[in-house]
Chain A
Amino acid sequence: MAAEGGFPAIRSMGLTGLLVSFADRLSEPANRAALAYRAAVEGENWPGVEETSTSLASVFLRFDPLSMAPGDLRARLDALLASRDWFSAPLPSNRRRWRIPTVYGTDLAPQLGEAAEAAGISIGEAVSELSTTAVRVLTIGFAPGQPYLGELSPRWDIPRQVALTRRVPEGALVVAIRQLILFSAATPTGWRHIGQTAFRAFRPESADPFPLRPGDELLFPAIEPGELAAIRAADTHGDGGASVEVIA
């Protein structure tokens, strides 16, 4: 097992939670390790484990402490950790590639200029890079169905803003710390609003309420505001003009 710098580590999280962390910063191997390890934990079907989840580089387990002692659960988790090299685990199967039409800048996404400046490039260069770079769903979280996407090139390692933007709309594409988020609901945020889509990442009324899955690839091709308006007018299920294909 390729442990690095004290990882993986198991810590308690409240009375009913354990957290298995593969790193203390985002990395591609740690993200793959978390996704694969959670799938393995789910496959074990241990009694008393009520829920599992991943974040960028960790796996969370919620369990019933009256039916499974945390010490026993830790022992099982340790044994599973030792059973293979999780950092070299493959990505999940059945991954899809989504192309989601995006308006960059304009009054629909007013912080593109600011973000490009923070990244040290022109607005044109920023759009050219962001609209052709495939990013991967690293985790779903914060809000329902909402993807954290990465990693962008190192120039996009820009900090969050100090002050929050009071509200950005659903479908907003925002950037910080080499990641993009596609907001599933209107929200206040410290990330910079650089693009606007009509994609709904959470569809509570649908048979498939959470269309995106960790491992999926996303591309955000550039369109004009008029095209987005036309897409919105024609869209009945929230895809926002996106196309999707299975890649692996």
Chain B
Amino acid sequence: MRQMSVLRAGPAITVQDAGRPGMLVQGLSRGGAADPVALAEGAALLGQSRDLAALELAGFGGVFGFAESTRLALTGAPMRADIDGKALTWNASHQIEPGQILTVGGCEAGAYGYLHLAGGVATDPVLGSRSAHLVAGIGAPVRAGDNLPIGPDAGQGQNLVLDVEDRFSGGTARVVHSAQTALFPAAERERFEATEFTRDDRANRMGVRLTLAGKGFAADRQLSILSEVIVPGDIQVTGDGTPFVLLPECQTTGGYPRIGTVIPADLPMVAQAGPGARLRFRFVGYDEAIEAERRHRAMLRDLPRRPRPAIRDPREIQDLLSYRLIDGMISAYDT
């Protein structure tokens, strides 16, 4: 089996796929990629299934070696990357040859970059998924010295790029009601919508802490509500009034009230808000939320048709005739 050698690793690199949905009743949260859109984008760039696992690089990348020719793609939070010193385009697929070294640096924006390998990272699944769920004690961070198995490459396409909307610098997330939204007086909800938050340094795969200039938010009976199920996207308000947006590796129940829930389409933007990014929240009605969900799923469905050939400077191509210039995926959906 092909392998990727990890020569150096940032502190928070993990193997991630879509996680383990369906185990809430056993106390196990879904987990999986903090930015599922980035997972789908990598699959589209490599022409492969989005069920395959990739490496999630939280904040920092690493240095990776390959013993065999391997296609790879880079998505999510943009990071500086090169092969043997030659800079790589982000949101693109590339090929690395035996003996070459891939170096991925720190995030230029956002929080989670992704390194996808053609064939996927083929570690042994646990409970139906390869995702590390560190809070639950499943898996471990990727470390220098690890050799990660790579599955058989059944896809095609390299030197493709994908045009991606910026979801790495904060913005406004749409929110619908949670079970405890009504515990917050209308004036508190209005103040919540009018507040600009800063993504705190305290953020991880469990959740993102938000800081604000004014005082925190208070619900009626804040400290005496019964613990209830938590779902990713819930905005939990802790005892001191600080909101946390909960992410895929959150606990499955919680006793703090939730002022609302970020809709699935906007959660990747919240997860990807880098340190210091500004976030706002806007309550939307059911119809608007459903329409957003419909568009989000259509976007994901269309992703495999969207990668386009990278435009390359012919002077950089040393052996022009060896390139099959009309091969590969050509999209009519060029945007």
Note whether A and B form a binding pair.
yes
Q: List chain B residues, Cβ under 8 A from A15.
A: 176, 261, 263-264, 289-290, 293
With A12-B177, A202-B137 as contacts: A53 and B227 at CB distance below 8 Å: no
B10 to chain A, nearest CB (A): 23
**Contacting pair A144 B264 (CB below 8 A):** no
**Contacting pair A144 B229 (CB below 8 A):** no
Q: List chain A residues, Cβ under 8 A from B231.
A: 13-14, 16-17, 62
Q: Encode contact with A along B155-184: 1 for CB under 8 Å, 0 otherwise.
A: 000000000000000000000111100000
Asked if B136 lies at the interface with its beta carbon under 8 angstroms from chain A, I say yes
Q: Encode contact with B along A44-77: 1 for CB under 8 Å, 0 otherwise.
A: 0000001111111110101001100010000000
Asked if A223 lies at the interface with its beta carbon under 8 angstroms from chain B, I say no
**Contacting pair B228 A52 (CB below 8 A):** no
Query: Of all chain A residues, which has the CB nearest B289?
Result: A15
Interface residues of A in 3-20 (CB under 8 A from B): 11-17, 19
Partner of B293, one of A51, A65, A184: A65
Asked if B152 lies at the interface with its beta carbon under 8 angstroms from chain A, I say no
A241 to chain B, nearest CB (A): 21
**Contacting pair A66 B293 (CB below 8 A):** yes
Asked if B87 lies at the interface with its beta carbon under 8 angstroms from chain A, I say no
State in angstroms the CA–CA spacing of A53 and B29 once bound together.
11
Which of B21, B126, B229 is the most central at the interface, judged by chain A CB atoms within 10 Å of its CB?
B229
**Contacting pair B261 A14 (CB below 8 A):** yes
Asked if A119 lies at the interface with its beta carbon under 8 angstroms from chain B, I say no
A77 to chain B, nearest CB (A): 14
**Contacting pair A51 B21 (CB below 8 A):** yes
**Contacting pair A13 B27 (CB below 8 A):** no
Q: List chain A residues, Cβ under 8 A from B14.
A: none
Asked if B67 lies at the interface with its beta carbon under 8 angstroms from chain A, I say no
State in angstroms the CA–CA spacing of A202 and B127 once bound together.
12
Q: Encode contact with B along A134-155: 1 for CB under 8 Å, 0 otherwise.
A: 0000011111111010000000
State in angstroms the CA–CA spacing of A60 and B264 once bound together.
18
A166 to chain B, nearest CB (A): 15
Asked if A222 lies at the interface with its beta carbon under 8 angstroms from chain B, I say no
Query: Of all chain A residues, which has the CB nearest B265?
Result: A15
Q: List chain A residues, Cβ under 8 A from B176.
A: 12, 14-15
Asked if A204 lies at the interface with its beta carbon under 8 angstroms from chain B, I say yes
A11 to chain B, nearest CB (A): 4
Asked if B49 lies at the interface with its beta carbon under 8 angstroms from chain A, I say no
**Which of the four size classes fits the interface of chain A?**
35 or more
B177 to chain A, nearest CB (A): 6
State in angstroms the CA–CA spacing of A51 and B24 once bound together.
8
B299 to chain A, nearest CB (A): 14
State in angstroms the CA–CA spacing of A146 and B253 once bound together.
11
State in angstroms the CA–CA spacing of A111 and B225 once bound together.
25
State in angstroms the CA–CA spacing of A205 and B28 once bound together.
14
**Contacting pair B229 A13 (CB below 8 A):** yes
State in angstroms the CA–CA spacing of A17 and B226 once bound together.
18
Asked if A209 lies at the interface with its beta carbon under 8 angstroms from chain B, I say yes
State in angstroms the CA–CA spacing of A51 and B252 once bound together.
13
B181 to chain A, nearest CB (A): 9
B178 to chain A, nearest CB (A): 5
Q: List chain B residues, Cβ under 8 A from A142.
A: 27, 227, 251-254
With A16-B264, A53-B25, A184-B27 as contacts: A205 and B126 at CB distance below 8 Å: yes
Asked if B191 lies at the interface with its beta carbon under 8 angstroms from chain A, I say no
Q: List chain A residues, Cβ under 8 A from B27.
A: 140-146, 184, 202, 210
Q: List chain A residues, Cβ under 8 A from B23.
A: 144
Q: List chain B residues, Cβ under 8 A from A16.
A: 231, 264
State in angstroms the CA–CA spacing of A185 and B28 once bound together.
12
Q: Encode contact with B along A102-146: 1 for CB under 8 Å, 0 otherwise.
A: 000000000000000000000000000000000000011111111
With A19-B229, A140-B26, A140-B27 as contacts: A53 and B293 at CB distance below 8 Å: no
Query: Of all chain B residues, which has the CB nearest A65?
Result: B290
**Contacting pair A145 B26 (CB below 8 A):** yes
Q: List chain B residues, Cβ under 8 A from A56.
A: 226-227
Asked if B17 lies at the interface with its beta carbon under 8 angstroms from chain A, I say no
Asked if B310 lies at the interface with its beta carbon under 8 angstroms from chain A, I say no
Q: List chain B residues, Cβ under 8 A from A141.
A: 27, 227, 229, 251-253
Q: List chain B residues, Cβ under 8 A from A50.
A: 21-22
Query: Of all chain B residues, which has the CB nearest A9?
Result: B179
Q: Which residues of B contact A (CB under 8 A)?
A: 21-28, 126-127, 135-138, 176-179, 225-229, 231, 233-234, 251-254, 261, 263-264, 286, 289-290, 293-294, 297
**8 A-B pairs, CB-CB below 8 angstroms?**
A51-B24, A54-B25, A57-B226, A62-B231, A140-B27, A143-B135, A143-B136, A204-B127
Top 10 closest pairs, chain A to chain B, by CB: A14-B261, A141-B253, A53-B24, A144-B28, A60-B229, A53-B25, A11-B179, A141-B27, A210-B26, A19-B179
Q: A13-B179, A15-B290 known; 17 other A-B pairs, CB under 8 Å?
A: A13-B231, A14-B234, A19-B229, A21-B179, A51-B22, A55-B228, A56-B226, A56-B227, A60-B229, A141-B27, A141-B251, A142-B27, A144-B26, A145-B28, A185-B136, A185-B137, A204-B138
Q: Which residues of A contact B (CB under 8 A)?
A: 11-17, 19, 21, 23-26, 38, 50-58, 60, 62, 65-66, 70, 139-146, 148, 170, 184-185, 202, 204-205, 209-210
